[in-house]
Chains A and B, each alone.
Chain A
């Protein structure tokens, strides 16, 4: 058979493509369930990380799903369809977790912010990024930076519903109640985090405020 004829070339290419297509479809079908499970475990461990339960340090990867199902109830903000996770750390301690999304310098940012039951202070934060600069902006994914948010106030005072929680330039913290020290050399990523927090928490502000409002009868 003439290997250089057009018919042979076209047939060869067609058969090859069909074989490859079936092969890849098969592999994808076979591994899909396992991959989806991994994505879900990853999401759950991010929510738990905002509740100060970090995989590797506080819990193991195998415990994630069980702990998540024990603690977290997925729901929505009353009166809207924004996600709001109610978390029962133990019978007496309730926390609320809010997912946030934003833009960094090079790509997307996302995170989960856990808020105390009174709706006034942050319990813990988790955030990550698509591709911030290694060693600079990428530091927002580190526990050390995220722990700076613990116990920060969301609002500047008791009367406002404007989110005050923010990240400021490194070394420029004037209001340690609600300002977090930014990362040196990563001002744009820090600004992105600040915008993500303010935009992400704003729709929940009324709700958080109502948690600590005096009961009116």
Chain B
């Protein structure tokens, strides 16, 4: 079986669009609202979840034939919690400012339903490579929604992108104002709703 057989490609691409964890399965909403007020933490959070989902999937997939079925959820949780702790420690050491901004939400990746969902539904029944692709796909499916929401919230809420001002000063002088609502979590929920709307509209046309 080749590395990129149609089945493997499907494991990777399905969660990106057709079965997106955020807009279709409506998982991971809490963190999607909390960390998207700016683009940078949204990107870091998306990448962290991608890395953790991918590696947790691989580890569980490698262990799947040895895990006693009665404690399989516990085993999955321990694996996820270990990876999350390592990622959080690495962020503190190499991206301190971002880790301060993400605060508790890195730790809360443990409770992100996307992870447990993929481990239980995919990694327990598939080989390590397929599980890796599925994990990366699910993580990126989550990440791109965060990035879209973070892009609009930072652009409209603060007039910046990644901390750089993109709305020119002359626009402010002409009376343009940043939308303070955008920095609130409530607006993130509305934006996620808009993304879901757009997603359904486009999917229906196909």
Contacts and interface: CB of A to CB of B under 8 A. Distances in A.
Given A9-B68, A38-B96, A39-B96, 16 more contacts: A4-B68, A12-B68, A13-B71, A13-B74, A13-B75, A20-B78, A23-B86, A24-B85, A27-B89, A28-B89, A34-B94, A35-B89, A42-B100, A135-B157, A135-B180, A135-B181
A5 to B, nearest CB: 8
B102 to A, nearest CB: 13
Contacts of B90: 27, 31
25 contacts: A3-B66, A3-B67, A4-B68, A4-B69, A9-B70, A9-B71, A12-B66, A12-B68, A13-B71, A13-B74, A17-B78, A23-B86, A24-B85, A24-B86, A27-B89, A28-B89, A31-B90, A31-B93, A34-B93, A34-B94, A35-B92, A39-B96, A134-B37, A134-B183, A134-B184
Contacts of B183: 134-135
Contacts of A106: none
Nearest to B37: A134
A35 B93 contact: yes
A126 to B, nearest CB: 15
Interface in B89-113: 89-90, 92-94, 96, 100, 103
Interface of A: 3-4, 8-9, 12-13, 16-17, 20, 23-24, 27-28, 31, 34-35, 38-39, 41-42, 131, 133-135
Given A16-B78, A134-B183, A135-B184, A8 B89 contact: no
A134 B94 CA distance: 25
Given A9-B71, A17-B78, A135-B184, A38 B92 contact: yes
B179 to A, nearest CB: 10
Contacts of A39: 96
Interface string B60-93: 0000001111110011001000100110011011
Given A16-B75, A134-B183, A27 B67 contact: no
Contacts of A134: 37, 183-185
- Choose among B70, B85, B93, B183 the residue with the greatest number of A CB atoms under 10 Å from its CB: B93
Nearest to B180: A135
For chain B, which range describes its interface: under 10, 10 to 19, 20 to 34, or 35 or more residues? 20 to 34
Contacts of B82: 20, 23-24
Contacts of B74: 13
Contacts of A133: 184
Nearest to B183: A135
A4 B70 contact: yes
A56 to B, nearest CB: 8
Contacts of B100: 42
Contacts of A17: 78
Contacts of B75: 12-13, 16
Nearest to A33: B93
A191 to B, nearest CB: 21
Interface string B153-196: 00001000000000000000000000011011100000000000
B69 to A, nearest CB: 7
